[in-house]
Structure formats: C-alpha cells, structure tokens
C-alpha cells in the first residue's frame, strides 16, 4: 500500500523539558524501526529546542497542566487526526506501516473519534467484529486513556478538561457522556500489533523490566541519568499486569 503525508494524521510525541534526556534515543529508535513513517512528526516541549530531521518542535511554554499543554500543542498542528504518543514508549520492532494505515482507514469509516493502538487494556471483546479493531463499551476503566491513541481533533477537544493531569485524563469517565465511538485493538491484534514498543519509565524512573532492552539498544549511558524504580514498584507492576492478563483471558472489562 502506498502511503503519503496527506493522510491528515499528525504523529504527536507529547513530552516536556524534564524528559529531554529521552528525546534523542526516542527518535533514534523511531528512525530505526519506523523509517517510512507517513505522518508529519511533532514533539511537544516547554522551552527547550531540539533538532532532529523531519521533526517539528512545538514549544508550549511553562507547564500549566497536561491537558492545557496538549490542547495548545494540538492547536499548532494542521491535521484533523492526531496520533498521540509518549516519549517513554520506545519503539522496539519494525512498525508495520501498511497494516497501520489499513486499520486507520477502516476505523475512519465508522466516524469514530478514538482508536487505541497501544496494546495494554482496554481491548475490544466484540465477537461480531471480524476486524482487528472493534468498539469499547461505555462504563469501563481507561476507556479514553491518553497515549498510543489516534484521536479526531473534535473528540480530543472534548476530553481535555482544563487543569487535568495525564493521570486525570487516563481515569476520566468523560467519554461515557459522548456519542463519539471509541475503538481499540482486539486481543489477537494486540498480541501481534502494528506498533511494538517498550514502556521504559514508571513514574519518571527506569522500569527494571526495560533495562535489558535499553542495554540491547546501546543506551547503557542513558540508564545513569535516572533512578531505578523500587522493588516494591516492580512487584506492584507485575501484580497489575497479572490482573489485566486474567481480564484478557476471561474477555472481561475492568469497571
């Protein structure tokens, strides 16, 4: 499938100056694993400048809130569709661009406002949908979670409540009051996704699970720039993942 930059999709990497140490390795891996990215690429920052081929930096100024910064950044892109990514989601395998474009084009036919391409919960469990994606019911947790998600601009605007943090947006039940359809990957698609990534930070500290990946990719020196998550944090994360795995096996949503 041929792809071009006229797809009206912006790839928006949402960050802030506190995470500037991640920008260079992030874009190194983007170039390595997604050299044929068909979208215009943007990086959201506060005041710092950053130069990388093909990347436009959007400086939003001093932090107000995650939602306010994101709204200001979204107003600076021309595309109607915005694929929001986070700077600590490092690409870990070649992106299947043709497949991603097929999913996006199929998704647009339903006039939907939200497509979660990240592989964590929630996923769709609609058996009548034969596609790789399907709708998310209302009343479930993290239905409109930020990150690894394609939004129509109009839907994103409705969700960005002034003053909200990223955690507030993740937990928000605002999507339940909207008529905009929300979609996500099926369990089968999530097991073999078009975009594979490694979540390298836990609350600003290195995820212990990600250390092997960082070393394999040649980022040993980067590890020295931040603290490691605690053992307690690691155990909590493992229990959390176990709980979600059980939900996935039973095809149940977390409410």
User: What's the confidence (pLDDT) of residue 111?
Assistant: 73
User: What's the confidence (pLDDT) of residue 109?
Assistant: 78
Q: E strands of the chain, at which residues?
A: 9-14, 40-45, 55-59, 81-86, 89-91, 114-116, 133-135, 149-152, 182-185, 197-199, 201-202, 205-206
> In 3D, which of 92, 88, 91 has the Cα closest to residue 225?
88
Residue 91 DSSP label: E
CA-based Rg of the chain, rounded to a whole angstrom? Answer: 18
Residue owning tokens 């996704």: 193
Q: Residue 157 is part of a domain; what is its CATH number?
A: 3.90.550.10
Domain residues for the domain of 127 are 9-203
User: What's the confidence (pLDDT) of residue 107?
Assistant: 83
User: What's the confidence (pLDDT) of residue 218?
Assistant: 96
Q: Give 166-220 pLDDT, tens digit per residue.
A: 999 999 999 999 999 999 999 989 999 999 999 999 999 999 999 999 999 999 9
Q: Tell me, yes or no, whether 68 lies in a domain.
A: yes
Name the domain count of the chain. 1
Which stretch of DSSP H or E encloses residue 29? Answer: helix 23-33
Q: Tell me, yes or no, whether 233 lies in a domain.
A: no
Over residues 58-74, the mean pLDDT reads 95
User: What's the confidence (pLDDT) of residue 128?
Assistant: 61
Residue 165 main-chain phi, psi, to 5 deg: -85, 170
User: What is the Cα–Cα distance from 38 to 28, expressed in whole angstroms?
Assistant: 17
Q: Tell me, yes or no, whether 1 lies in a domain.
A: no
| Count, residues in the chain | 255
User: Would you put residue 103 in left (φ > 0), alpha (ψ -120 to 50) or beta?
Assistant: alpha
Q: Tell me, yes or no, whether 137 lies in a domain.
A: yes
Q: Tell me, yes or no, whether 52 lies in a domain.
A: yes
Q: Give 17-59 pLDDT, tens digit per residue.
A: 999 999 999 999 999 999 999 999 999 999 999 999 999 999 9
Cα angle value 95/18/50 (rounded, 5°): 60
Q: Tell me, yes or no, whether 136 lies in a domain.
A: yes
**pTM assigned to the model:** 0.92
Q: Which tokens hold the place of 250?
A: 């039973």
Q: Among positive and negative, which fits the CA dihedral 140, 144, 148, 152?
A: positive
Q: Tell me, yes or no, whether 163 lies in a domain.
A: yes
Q: Tell me, yes or no, whether 255 lies in a domain.
A: no
């Amino acid at each position: 499938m041929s792809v071009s930059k006229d797809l009206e999709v912006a790839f928006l990497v949402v960050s802030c100056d506190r995470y500037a140490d991640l920008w260079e390795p992030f874009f190194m891996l983007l170039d390595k694993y997604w050299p044929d990215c068909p979208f215009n690429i943007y990086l959201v920052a506060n005041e710092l400048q950053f130069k990388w081929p093909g990347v436009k930096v959007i400086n939003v100024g001093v932090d107000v809130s995650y939602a306010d910064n994101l709204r200001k950044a979204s107003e600076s892109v021309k595309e109607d569709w915005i694929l929001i990514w986070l700077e600590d989601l490092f690409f870990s395998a070649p992106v299947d661009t043709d497949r991603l474009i097929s999913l996006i084009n199929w998704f647009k036919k339903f006039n939907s406002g939200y497509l979660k391409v990240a592989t964590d919960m929630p996923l769709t469990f609609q058996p009548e949908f034969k596609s790789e994606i399907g709708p998310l019911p209302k009343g479930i947790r993290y239905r409109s979670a930020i990150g690894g998600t394609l939004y129509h601009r109009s839907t994103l605007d409705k969700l960005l409540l002034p003053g909200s943090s990223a955690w507030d947006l993740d937990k928000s039940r605002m999507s339940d009051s909207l008529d905009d359809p929300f979609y996500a990957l099926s369990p089968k698609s999530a097991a073999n996704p078009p975009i594979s990534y490694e979540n390298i930070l836990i609350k600003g500290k290195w995820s212990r699970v990600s250390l092997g990946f960082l070393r394999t990719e040649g980022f040993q020196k980067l590890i020295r720039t931040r603290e490691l998550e605690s053992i307690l944090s690691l155990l909590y994360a493992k229990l959390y993942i176990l709980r979600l795995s059980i939900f996935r096996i039973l095809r149940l949503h977390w409410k």
